[in-house]
Amino acid sequence: MNKSSKIYVAGHNGLVGSAIIRKLESKGYQNIVKRTSQELDLRKQAAVEYFFENEKPEYVFLAAAKVGGILANAKNPGEFLYDNVMIQTNIIEASKNFGVKKLLFLGSTCIYPKMAPQPLKEEYLLTGELEPTNEPYAIAKITGIKMCKSYNEQYGTNFISVMPTNLYGPNDNFDLKTSHVLPALLRKVHEAKLNNSPYVEVWGTGHPFREFLHVDDMADACVYLMENYSYKEIGEIINIGTGEEISIKDLVDLIVSVVNYRGDIKFDPLKPDGTPRKLTDIQKLNKLNWKSRISLKKGIEETYEWYIREKKYE
């Protein structure tokens, strides 16, 4: 990839896509192609083929996806399966047809079996049953991984797949019905503080553990892998994470201290906990000389500042 290469970032308004754009621009890449979902519906094959035929991007970051937290996945399983399979299938096929030199596909650590040993190694893919709350999403992402692999084998393409752990940061979704836990709790605790509410309600038991990676670290890793490593070196998939986990209860405490909220926390065990742990094994990534830099505390502080500045949903 050189600074004038034509780079298409699919999903440039999303959490990851917007961070990839910031990273590429800060490194001096000058030829970045973007389309909003109004301009190009990635679920429509003819539209995607037409776009690739005309624009002929050389590099593709496939960061477009239908994403959501635990309840959004549970309520809209058909949409999560259909949208994701269509978006990624159309882009991967068009990338093969129109000579894309390299593509980076974004998966998720929910592709690993619910009861896989921890930390999650790349080789655990398809060794057991998935977590039911996000199985349709995970099946779509596994399809994308296998498509990249199959296309590399059959057509000699260079399509790589990365599996980020739970991500957070600027441009995250703060809508309480569809968001992931970290932005949801930042918003809930912030609003409880503003309204002098006596307590904040947290879903589940607080016992599950999750790993959180700041999206700027994620974008840094994606661009680093695009610049330096090919499918032959990376293999079928590679995890991107911090290698550190925290319980939901401790995450709540951290957010409460960043926001400076003085009320109580109430757990609602009737809401789903999801998978008990989801910690990535990052040895493969470390061997390629990449490590995350932003600590969880600093990342939450920055995200909270961003949230207040943007005053989303207030």
Q: Across-strand partners of 103? A: 60, 159
Give me the least distance between CB of 98 and ligand GDP, in Å please: 34
Give me the least distance between CB of 179 and ligand GDP, in Å please: 6
46, 68 Cβ separation under 8 angstroms: no
- Assess whether 137 carries a catalytic annotation: yes
- Whether omega before 136 lies within 30 degrees of 0, making that bond cis, reads no
63, 16 Cβ separation under 8 angstroms: yes
Q: Which of 112, 63, 144, 114 is nearest to 281 (CA)?
A: 112
| 34 or 271: CB nearest ligand GDP | 271
| 162 or 181: CB nearest ligand GDP | 181
* DSSP conformation class of 129: P
- Residue 296, amino acid: L
Q: Residues in the chain, how many?
A: 314
* DSSP conformation class of 212: E
Give me the least distance between CB of 265 and ligand GDP, in Å please: 10
Give me the least distance between CB of 144 and ligand GDP, in Å please: 17
Report the C-alpha gap between 191 and 184 in whole angstroms.
Answer: 11
By the criterion CB under 6 A, which residues form the site for ligand GDP?
A: 69-70, 110, 134, 166, 179-181, 184-185, 202-204, 208, 210, 248, 271-274
- Residue 92, amino acid: I
Give me the least distance between CB of 276 and ligand GDP, in Å please: 9
Of 8, 112, 137, 304, the active-site residue reads 137
Report the C-alpha gap between 195 and 279 in whole angstroms.
Answer: 35
CA-to-CA separations, 38 to 31, 42, 43, 212, 226, in angstroms, rounded = 21, 10, 12, 31, 27
- Residue 88, amino acid: Q
Q: Within the chain, how many helices (H) and strands (E) appear?
A: 11, 12
| 3 or 177: CB nearest ligand GDP | 177
| 93 or 191: CB nearest ligand GDP | 191
Give me the least distance between CB of 9 and ligand GDP, in Å please: 24
CA-to-CA separations, 216 to 34, 121, 213, 291, 302, in angstroms, rounded = 19, 23, 8, 12, 11
| 65 or 160: CB nearest ligand GDP | 65
Active site residues: 137
